[in-house]
Amino acid sequence: MDILHRVGIENSAPEKVYDALTTVEGLAGWWTDDVTGDPDVGGVLEFRFPPGGFDMKVLDRRPGERVTWEVVAGPAEWVGTTVDWQLRRDGDYTVVLFEHQGWAEPVEFMHHCSTKWATYLMSLKQLVETGEGAPSPKDVHIAYPD
């Protein structure tokens, strides 16, 4: 089972979105300000949030086109899943196709993560469009203080 999302980022080349997905500084601008690690293929990125975090191994990255991570540590439901980003240019927009693939069961945590990913994709869009995203701990709350 997969979580799917799509956003369109205005007045932006795919290379700019790619930078926000493949540099520690870029990732810190929209997902969490507590990110460390190696964003090259085979490297591991450590994303931390107040309640926990995820370690992502970079499986693939193709400039301006695609980034794929495998979750190698984190909540049990996440470990072994993959997070895939496809980018393409469409006029003045960069279209971002997002898939968090391989959930075993449609548990309530999957519902939560789906909505939360949407808000982080909007944060990525805002970062690239305006220079300012809403990474954790400034992230949009969707449920409990989370």
Residue 140 sits in the site that holds a copy of itself (CB under 8 A): yes
Phi, psi of 143 (to 5 degrees): -145, -125
Instruction: Give the 3-state secondary structure of residue 122.
Output: helix
Stretch binding a copy of itself (CB under 8 A), from 26-34, 39-47, 118-126, 131-139: 118-126
Separation of alpha carbons 54 and 57, rounded Å:
10
- Residue 119 interacts with a copy of itself (CB under 8 A)? yes
Site of tokens 């979580």: 3
In the shown chain, the binding pattern of residues 8 to 47 toward a copy of itself, with x for contact by CB under 8 A and - for none, equals: x---------------------------------------
- The count of residues in the chain is 146
Establish if 104 lies at the interface with a copy of itself (CB under 8 A).
no
78, with CB counted inside 10 A (0-12, 13-18, 19+), is: buried
Cβ–Cβ < 8 Å for 121, 5 = yes
Q: Which is nearer to a copy of itself, 3 or 27 (CB)?
A: 3
Taking CB under 8 A as the criterion, which residues in 79-98 touch a copy of itself? 93, 95, 97-98
Provide the binding-site residues for a copy of itself, judged by CB under 8 A.
Answer: 1-8, 93, 95, 97-99, 106, 108, 110-112, 114-115, 118-119, 121-122, 125, 140, 142-144
